[in-house]
Amino acid sequence: MPYADTLHTDTPPTMDRPVFIVGCPRSGTGILHQLARLHPHVAWITPVSNWVCGKSWFRAVPPRCAWHAEGVIHRLPNALLPPLLRGPYDGSLGLPTVYETHEGHSIWNRVLPPADDHRATAEAATPALRAELRDVARWHRRYHRRPRFVWKTPRNAFRIPFLHALFPRAYVVHLLRDGRAVAASILNRRRVDGAPQAWWGARPPGWRSKQSTTPIEQAAWTWRRSVAQVRADASSLPADQVLELRYESLLRRPGAVMRRFFAATRLDPARFFTAQTRRQLDKVRPPRDTWRDRLRDDQIAALYDALGSSLAEYGYGDDAAPPA
């Protein structure tokens, strides 16, 4: 490997600048993460590395041994694997299913104390947690033999002050999507999971106060709360460490948006645009306005009431009124 990176030594400054992809659940952060991991300098969490680093003894596991083990595991049928290791996760773009992207929930569940919501502030960034998560990042760089760590989970939309305290030079990339499409997608995911009335995804502060509202109102509130929290917290960070992208632009012009992503996070865009990655970009399709088809008329009316002026505020105001 052309760089030195061990769990117990200092690393060059560029390696200590992870990229955190955040956004409301169902905003397309998964697609952005899948594309980002195609860059030859990007390391990421996989199902196996999530399991390993979800244990307190992860430092004792040689990263490259776990990497080879994951290659073997993913050749086994899903029926033989525990749910945590089953795939694919990256099927939306038809990417290889070995070393898939993962949100790393086992890691967060281990390092953060139990809480009713997903908010974490700078005060929670103790020296012990700082050392722990920095070692997680280093472990993943050695796992993939790549110098930059990219971590995506919508829950981190409520942890930006905490992340900045841990990694003061890290980048935050916010992916924003039309709240109507997000709400419809959250409801669809609830149905797919067989629990249409159960809360799904990130839990913003105050989420329990919304338990008595309808599912569509809950989904709309989650979007408003997520976007507002990200923008408020990101406003206190250095401007050159924050980037906001739109899901609709990503799907319409994936090459241009990924070029912005890599330029803003100090990753060489030229290393990304190979014949192989261009074939993956060709699989990205323009967004379809399907949220109307997914929702009943009464749900659409309730959705507009719940979103209020936020559609226009966040740039989706051309159609910010119920259809006639």
The residue among 210, 221, 149, 211 whose CA lies nearest residue 183 is 221
Model confidence at 97, pLDDT cuts 50, 70, 90, reads low
Model confidence at 5, pLDDT cuts 50, 70, 90, reads very low
State the Cα–Cα distance between residues 74 and 97, nearest whole angstrom: 8
Q: Read off the amino acid at residue 163.
A: L
Q: What is the mean pLDDT of the chain?
A: 88
Which residues on neighbouring strands pair with residue 243, listed in sequence order?
173
| pLDDT at 151 exceeding the cut of 50 | yes
Average pLDDT in the 12-33 region? 87
Residue 170: the pLDDT is 97
State the Cα–Cα distance between residues 63 and 140, nearest whole angstrom: 7
Model confidence at 232, pLDDT cuts 50, 70, 90, reads very high
Q: Read off the amino acid at residue 133.
A: L
State the Cα–Cα distance between residues 15 and 36, nearest whole angstrom: 16
State the Cα–Cα distance between residues 32 and 257, nearest whole angstrom: 10
Long-range CB contacts (within 8 A, 24+) of 122-131 = 122/161, 122/162, 122/164, 122/165, 124/162, 125/162, 125/165, 125/166, 129/166, 130/165, 130/166
Per-residue pLDDT tens over the stretch 250-270: 999 999 999 999 999 999 999
Give 151: exposed, middle or buried? Use CB within 10 Å, 0-12, 13-18, 19+: buried
Per-residue pLDDT tens over the stretch 275-299: 989 988 988 888 888 898 999 999 9
Residue 253: the pLDDT is 95
* Residue 105, C-beta contacts closer than 8 angstroms, at least 6 positions apart: 50, 153, 155
Average pLDDT in the 186-191 region? 93
Is residue 215 within 8 A of residue 196, CB to CB? The reply is: yes
State the Cα–Cα distance between residues 220 and 314, nearest whole angstrom: 13
The residue among 44, 139, 136, 25 whose CA lies nearest residue 90 is 44
State the Cα–Cα distance between residues 186 and 202, nearest whole angstrom: 11
Model confidence at 1, pLDDT cuts 50, 70, 90, reads very low
Percent residues over pLDDT 70 in the chain: 86
| pLDDT at 7 exceeding the cut of 60 | no
Residue 257: the pLDDT is 97
The residue among 66, 73, 75 whose CA lies nearest residue 43 is 66
Q: Which fold has domain 13-313?
A: Rossmann fold (3.40.50)
* Residue 94, C-beta contacts closer than 8 angstroms, at least 6 positions apart: 280, 283
11 or 200: whose pLDDT is higher? 200
Is residue 74 within 8 A of residue 87, CB to CB? The reply is: yes
